[in-house]
Amino acid sequence: MTNRWWVYQRERFPIFAHGPLVAAFSVSAVSYSTLLRDERSLPLAGTLLAFVTALIFFAQLRIADEFKDREEDARYRPYRPVPRGLVKLRELAWIGVGGGLIQLAGALAVKPALVPLLVVTWIYLAAMSVEFFAPRWLKARPITYMWTHMLIMPQIDFYATATDWIGTGSGPPRGVMLFLWVSFFNGMVIEIGRKIRAPQDEEEGVDTYSRVWGRRGAVAAWLSAMGLTLAFALMAAWRIHSLIVAAIILSILVAAALTIAIRYLAAPLTGRAKAVETMSGIWTLMMYLNLGLIPLAIRYFLKRA
């Protein structure tokens, strides 16, 4: 029993790969809110709640994918855990519900005012799991499909920031919306980057962006999403007086991303396509650190000096 769930997480939700990204995502959201409020330290209980809740949300998103993709997986991807019988959808459903109970208990224990935000995000996640009751319409429109699904990202991020500011009596601090836009476009960077493949790695029945838009179109979309993320990130960094540091680090990452994109287009090999996905993860990790922990640490040490 233990081994099959270990295999499942390794194949479908690798905790050691997702954990650091979710930690950066959630902790930086709390940090950014803290910086906007000109506070020096993170609320420990709120930060832990933000991380646990976000991690469960992303696990629930994976479970929702298992349900909505079950027919395509059975037809085109029988090697995946559900169609090959490693785990059952009913078991995954119970795990999703159990995760929801943990999220609810955490909100009630730390800040009960978070519960309405939690419920709103649950409702949107549930709508996503049934493709907003228009699966064929959405599938025929890849861009609409992507942005409607990426809207879950700022909702999770908003909840994470709320673990800091809710209950203070002043509402969300000015500038939080910029961070939510960063989260939205960062989601697109990850989504597009993981679906850019080498021609020999394309699978029947899998609508990757390199297949739907062509390799040039997919790379252009990936870089465009990165550019939009960069623009909002710099504005967000300016609000917390960390523009120079963010600009230097993110400029280096943009140069690296351009190099990887050019190499992939020149020779779309498996390793070079994988580098696009890896770069998406590095970009996301550093993006959040530049808007959270790094400026918070700088501010802390400067005030101690």
Nearest to 1 by CA among 66, 92, 86: 86
| pLDDT band at residue 90 under the 50/70/90 scheme | very high
pLDDT-derived band at 301, boundaries 50, 70, 90: confident
Indicate if the pLDDT at residue 1 is higher than 60: no
Helix (H) or strand (E) holding 112: none
Q: How confident is the model over 283-297, as a mean pLDDT?
A: 91
Q: What is the pLDDT of residues 200-252, one digit of tens each?
A: 999 888 889 999 999 999 999 999 999 999 999 999 999 999 999 999 999 99
| CB 41 within 8 Å of CB 297 | no
CB 223 within 8 Å of CB 249: no
- pTM, rounded to two decimals: 0.91
* CATH of segment(s) 1-171: 1.10.357.140
Question: How far is it, in rounded angstroms, from Cα 135 to Cα 148?
Answer: 12
How remote is the C-alpha of 53 from its chain's centroid? 13
Assigned CATH for 174-305? 1.20.120
Domain ranges of the chain: 1-171, 174-305
DSSP string, 121-182: HHHHHHHHHTGGG-HHHHHT-HHHHHHHHHTHHHHHHHHHHHHHHTTSSS-SPTTHHHHHHH
pLDDT at residue 305 tops 70: no
Output the CA–CA distances (angstroms, integers) from residue 85 to 10, 58, 103, 206, in the order listed.
Answer: 16, 23, 28, 21
Separation between Cα atoms, residue 35 and residue 29, nearest integer Å? 10
143-176 confidence digits (pLDDT tens): 999 999 999 999 999 999 999 999 877 789 999 9
**pLDDT tens string 29-74:** 999 999 999 887 788 999 999 999 999 999 999 999 999 889 889 9
Asked if pLDDT for residue 300 goes beyond 80, the answer is no
The CA distance from 15 to 6, in Å, is 10
Which residue in 59, 64, 56 sits closest to 129, CA to CA?
Answer: 64
Does residue 302 have a pLDDT over 80? no
Sign of CA dihedral 70, 75, 76, 77: positive
CA dihedral 92, 93, 94, 99 (to 10 degrees): 90
Is 95 exposed, middle or buried (CB count within 10 Å of its CB: 0-12, 13-18, 19+)? Answer: middle
Q: How far apart are CA 234 and CA 245, in angstroms?
A: 10
Query: What is the pLDDT of the chain when averaged over all its residues?
Result: 93
* CA 46 to chain centroid: 19
- CA 55-65-219 angle, to 5 degrees, is 90
Nearest to 16 by CA among 262, 277, 303, 281: 281
